Amino acid sequence: MNPTTPEYRRNATPFLYGGEADAVARVLKAGQYGHTQVTEEFERKVAAFLGVPDAVAVTSGTAAMHTALLAAGVGPGHEVIVPSLTFCATIQAVLACGAAPRFIEVNPGTLCIEPDAVMEAITPDTRAVMPVLYGGRAVDLTEIRDTLDRRDIAVVEDAAHAFGSYRGSVRVGSTGDLTCFSFGPIKNLTCGQGGMVIPRTPAEAATVRQLRLLGVVASQAQRQAATSYRVEGFGLRYQLSSLNAAIGLAQLPKFKTTEVNRQELWRSYRCALRDVPAVRLVDVDVDHSVPHLCVVRVADREEVFRRMLAAGVAVGVHYPPNHLQPAFAPWRRVLPVTEQAGREILTLPFHQHMTDDDVRHVAATLKAATGGGQ
């Protein structure tokens, strides 16, 4: 694309700090592209960043959710409580375990699930709840923690949007839940492609490590020095390549900049959108989050979406509700709050290449697209 194109016209692209290319080149030259010391260093650094004892790297956020659910004991015959308003990957991870998604509503102002809705959806088959940390906002289920524990229901967080965010005074990932991060191309921290499971126990960590390596239990050194290897159980090719880990390792020391930039950008939007009465901003609790999205709700979304694209602003929709998708029809329920949100949500351009001027331009365009005033 033309380098003079204003940033609000672009779809989000990864934000690179400069060291990533060298880091990848070093791994390329070293000639070991699988799960290596580089991957393990990335695991240690992420664990230290979050203040947790361990972190297990995998190929993607989807793989993180799949293996975390398996480690929590989710399988055929079980139900997993999940918002319908999420990326389809969350639901596919549930189905990959042979379990059934039980779709629930979200709070219309935050698009996150609430404890009450979880309680209403619990059945004897419920084995896990998957809060989606929409836009980077932490989800707090502490008030129903005892009930969940008593019923042996695990909390497996889809924190794909929320790397770096806080719940209270601690980072998401160090709250005692099983947490899954994505390091996909445009996430708060990128590996190009990648994911991470934050396990609750050493046993869970060992399970995810076995699952990600085709069920083989042995270190790389052990495998290279032996004539055989042991396949201990089910597993998949879910290891994080050292090429991808190197990108994440180069990004991590710069994360404070990411955190500040994203918060400032979101606050700029909040300020500029005060002048756009026809839209309501979905709140991400910016003081505690590293915001991932800037989403508004607007009555005539289809028309506004069309006008914004016509005006050259790269808007999107996160997400069409999953309970209305053909693939998930067997688990469809009536979810009026989610369906209304699905008709009204509009994602504004939000990435670190943007400036305050870009934000003001988007807000002004949105004002015009929604009729200018009222």
Ligand X SMILES: *Cc1c(COP(=O)(O)O)cnc(C)c1O
Q: Name the residues that contact ligand X, by CB under 6 A.
A: 60-62, 86-87, 89-90, 132, 158, 160-161, 182, 184, 195
Q: Which is nearer to ligand X, 57 or 313 (CB)?
A: 57
Residue 244 to residue 191: CA distance in whole angstroms: 5
**In angstroms, what is the minimal distance from the CB of 197 to ligand X?**
12
**In angstroms, what is the minimal distance from the CB of 171 to ligand X?**
18
**Six-digit token pair at 332?**
């469809």
Residue 90 to residue 81: CA distance in whole angstroms: 11
Q: Which is nearer to ligand X, 175 or 182 (CB)?
A: 182
Paired with 158 in beta bridges are 132, 180
Q: Which residues contact 29 (CB under 8 A, 6 or more apart)?
A: none
**In angstroms, what is the minimal distance from the CB of 11 to ligand X?**
14
**In angstroms, what is the minimal distance from the CB of 319 to ligand X?**
8
- Kindly report each contact of residues 15-23 with a partner whose C-beta sits within 8 Å and lies 24 or more positions away, as own/partner: 15/190, 15/258, 15/351, 15/352, 15/353, 16/251, 17/250, 17/251, 17/254, 17/257, 19/250, 20/246, 20/247, 20/250, 20/251, 22/250, 23/246, 23/247, 23/249, 23/250
**Six-digit token pair at 303?**
């028309």
Residue 280 to residue 315: CA distance in whole angstroms: 16
Residue 254 to residue 267: CA distance in whole angstroms: 21
**In angstroms, what is the minimal distance from the CB of 336 to ligand X?**
22
Q: Which is nearer to ligand X, 89 or 276 (CB)?
A: 89
Q: Which is nearer to ligand X, 179 or 182 (CB)?
A: 182
**In angstroms, what is the minimal distance from the CB of 274 to ligand X?**
28
Cis peptide before 238 (omega within 30 of 0): no
Tell me which residue of 160, 235, 156 sits closest to 194, measured CA to CA: 160
Q: Which is nearer to ligand X, 89 or 279 (CB)?
A: 89
Q: Does the annotation mark 45 as catalytic?
A: no
**In angstroms, what is the minimal distance from the CB of 129 to ligand X?**
15
Q: Which is nearer to ligand X, 67 or 86 (CB)?
A: 86
What pairing do the DSSP bridges indicate for beta strands 154-158 and 178-182?
Answer: parallel
Tell me which residue of 74, 174, 76 sits closest to 130, measured CA to CA: 74
Residue 39 to residue 54: CA distance in whole angstroms: 13
**Six-digit token pair at 298?**
């607007």
Q: Which is nearer to ligand X, 196 or 213 (CB)?
A: 196
SS3 of the chain: helix, strand, coil, percent, to 5: 40, 15, 45
**In angstroms, what is the minimal distance from the CB of 125 to ligand X?**
23
Q: Which is nearer to ligand X, 61 or 321 (CB)?
A: 61
Q: Which of 45, 187, 254, 367 is catalytic?
A: 187
Paired with 79 in beta bridges are 100, 126
CB nearest ligand X: which residue?
61
- C-alpha triplet 219, 223, 229: angle, nearest 5°: 105
Could you give the residue numbers annotated as active site? 187
